[in-house]
């Protein structure tokens, strides 16, 4: 179904929108974006008269915002192995419906992508489906067992862009150290799923007042922070790039903020010929963790769709995440879309798996929680969801509308009022606590390599 090679199919003119491109610091009202043969050709006013625009498909973006295609660097596609929860086709369709043109698949599948064959399988299946670019995140260790390092270099050559044992922490500090060291020359960050399993053992929700009230075993904030502290120290030791996934607590934010300052000082000292090896720290948080708090478990009477790892935290943690997104301590908003089958969540709270499905409302949740109350400006939000993840992962041609970039564009309406209706979702996972939520913001069109994938909120095939 991918019609590659046809100029007509991959040339498009997006007319008259507000063009926001954080990679160039652009915020132009009433501007056009011209994509020719799948690449961005020109951005600005009056591009329509460009000769290549003749005969191009025209998308009217008046009153809408045109941004680089949204990137979600933390998505569970469940394929291979758990196709009953989600597969590459349903997951990429859901992503496109949510406004994303690029996603990164997490490696907790069966088998795990710890070698190039599985990375290639994911890439090829996603390319054949043609809804969304997929860059696999490979496993750090063979089988994600935390024992021996996986074939990191081989996987990079097949298109893996980062490495993680997500779902599990790399509990072995020595392995984490070697992975950070080894992956660095490949330009691939190690993504830390920060969880001290002994502190989190048996935990069902954030440890605090509500876990006490509900009688559910708690997961203390420290379970996350202890591991982040270790990984930040190892990043400095190795000079590697650590990316902290799904940051959820104020303590974690403080640790990351300090580590980033330290990394900056070390880099300056090194540049001046001084002692020290530069290292890199980046971080992400999910829209869920800035939308809901641990009280949601109480309010929903133990709705298993509020069960997620890391758990929903307190209002104070939410405030810290917002501050961190505003000051850049947290670089990226990533969904951690974690679809599960209905039956798996339709059980007692403690027996339900962690995770919630959200990629189709990720943008709306972020706009509602961050842009509406003025925590982030719209261009800042666009940065956290496009340019920043491209920078963290080193994705060439992504997260930008600079000429020559890939023709991936999202056209969104940041003021649209949407009432969440899970039955309209393309994802197989309807495990979200958002049914009936009234949110602001919606992706209207997505263009992938110059091809219109979603039009007026509906996938074209």
Partner 1 sequence: MPVSDMQLILETAGSLKEILTREIKKVPTLRGKSIVTLFYEPSTRTRTSFEMAGKYMSADTSSITVATSSVVKGESLKDTALTIQAMGADMVIMRHSVSGSCHFLARILDCSVVNAGDGMHEHPSQGLLDMFTIQQHKGGHLEGLKVAIIGDVQHSRVARSNIWGLTKMGADVHVAGPATLIPPEIEQIPGVTAHDRVEDAIRGADVVNVLRLQRERQQKGLFPTIREYSRIYGVNRERLALAKDDVTVMHPGPMNRGVEITSEVADSDHAVIEEQVTNGVAIRMALLYLLLGGAEA
Catalytic residue positions?
Answer: 336
CA atoms of 347 and 34, how far apart (whole Å): 50
Q: In this structure, what are the phi and psi dihedrals at residue 411, rounded to the nearest 5 degrees?
A: -110, 120
CB 198 within 8 A of CB 207: no
Catalog residues that contact partner 1 under the rule CB under 8 A: 204, 208-209, 212-217, 301-302, 346-351
Cβ atoms of residues 247 and 333 within 8 Å: no
Strands 70-75 and 65-68 come out as: unpaired
CA angle 457, 388, 231 (to 5 degrees): 125
Choice between 347 and 458, CB closer to partner 1: 347
| Closest approach of partner 1 to the CB of residue 344, in Å | 11
- Residue placing its CB nearer to partner 1 in the complex, 236 or 344: 344
Output the DSSP codes for 121-162.
Answer: HHHHHHHHH-SSEEEEEEPSBGGG-SSSB--HHHHHHTT--E
Burial classification of residue 249, based on how many CB atoms lie within 10 Å of its CB (0-12 exposed, 13-18 middle, 19 or more buried) = buried
Toward partner 1, which CB reaches closer, 102 or 211? 211
| Rounded Cα–Cα distance for residues 403 and 37 (Å) | 12
Task: From 10, 16, 2, 71, select the one nearest 41 (Cα to Cα).
Answer: 10
> What's the CA gap between 246 and 399, in Å, rounded?
20
Six-digit token pair at 289? 């963790």
Q: What are phi and psi of 141, to 5 degrees?
A: -120, 155
426, 454 contact by CB (below 8 A): no
Task: Closer to partner 1 by CB, 10 or 204: give it.
Answer: 204
Distance CA 339, CA 189 (A): 25
Nearest to 164 by CA among 138, 186, 142, 185: 138
Q: Is the dihedral of CA 44, 49, 50, 53 positive or negative?
A: positive
Using the minimum distance from each CB to partner 1, give the nearer residue, 85 or 445. Answer: 85
Please give the distance of CA 398 from its chain centroid, rounded to a whole number: 14
Rank residues 45 and 347 by Cβ distance to partner 1 and give the closer one: 347
Residue with smaller CB distance to partner 1, 343 or 456 = 343
Q: Quote the least distance from Cβ 151 to partner 1, whole Å.
A: 35
């Amino acid at each position: 179904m991918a019609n590659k090679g046809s100029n007509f199919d991959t040339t498009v003119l997006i007319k008259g929108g507000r063009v926001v491109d954080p990679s160039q610091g652009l915020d132009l009202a009433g501007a056009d974006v011209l994509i020719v043969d799948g690449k961005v050709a020109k951005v600005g006013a009056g591009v329509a008269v460009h000769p290549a625009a003749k005969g191009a498909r025209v998308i009217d973006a008046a009153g809408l915002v045109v941004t680089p295609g949204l990137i979600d660097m933390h998505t569970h596609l469940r394929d291979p192995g758990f196709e009953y929860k989600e597969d590459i086709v349903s997951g990429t369709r859901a992503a496109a419906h949510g406004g994303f043109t690029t996603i990164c698949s997490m490696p907790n599948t069966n088998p795990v992508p710890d070698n190039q064959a599985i990375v290639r399988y994911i890439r090829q299946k996603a390319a054949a489906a043609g809804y969304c670019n997929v860059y696999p995140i490979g496993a750090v260790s063979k089988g994600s067992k935390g024992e021996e390092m996986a074939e990191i270099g081989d996987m990079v050559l097949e298109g893996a862009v980062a490495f993680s044992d997500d779902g599990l922490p790399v509990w072995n500090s020595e392995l984490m150290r070697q992975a950070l060291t080894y992956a660095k020359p490949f330009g691939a960050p190690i993504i830390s799923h920060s969880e001290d399993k002994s502190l989190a053992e048996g935990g069902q929700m954030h440890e605090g007042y509500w876990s006490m009230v509900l009688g559910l075993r708690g997961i203390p904030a420290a379970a996350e922070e202890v591991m982040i502290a270790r990984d930040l120290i190892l990043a400095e030791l190795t000079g590697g790039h650590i990316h902290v996934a799904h940051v959820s607590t104020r303590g974690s934010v403080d640790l990351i903020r300090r580590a980033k300052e330290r990394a900056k000082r070390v880099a300056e000292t090194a540049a001046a010929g001084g002692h020290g090896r530069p290292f890199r720290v980046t971080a992400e948080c999910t829209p869920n963790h800035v939308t809901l708090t641990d009280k949601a478990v109480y309010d929903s009477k133990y709705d298993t769709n509020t069960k997620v790892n890391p758990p929903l935290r307190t209002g104070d943690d939410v405030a810290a995440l917002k501050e961190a997104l505003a000051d850049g301590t947290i670089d990226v908003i990533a969904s951690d879309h974690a679809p599960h089958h209905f039956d798996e969540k339709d059980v007692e709270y403690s027996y339900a798996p962690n995770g919630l499905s959200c990629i189709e409302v990720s943008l709306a949740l972020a706009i509602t929680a961050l842009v509406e109350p003025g925590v982030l400006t719209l261009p800042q939000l666009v940065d956290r969801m496009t340019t920043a993840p491209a920078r963290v992962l080193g994705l060439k041609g992504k997260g930008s509308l600079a000429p020559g970039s890939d023709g991936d564009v999202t056209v969104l309406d940041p003021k649209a009022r949407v009432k969440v209706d899970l039955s309209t979702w393309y994802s197989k996972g309807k495990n979200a606590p958002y049914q009936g939520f009234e949110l602001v913001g919606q992706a209207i069109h997505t263009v992938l390599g110059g091809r219109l994938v979603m039009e007026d909120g509906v996938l074209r095939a």
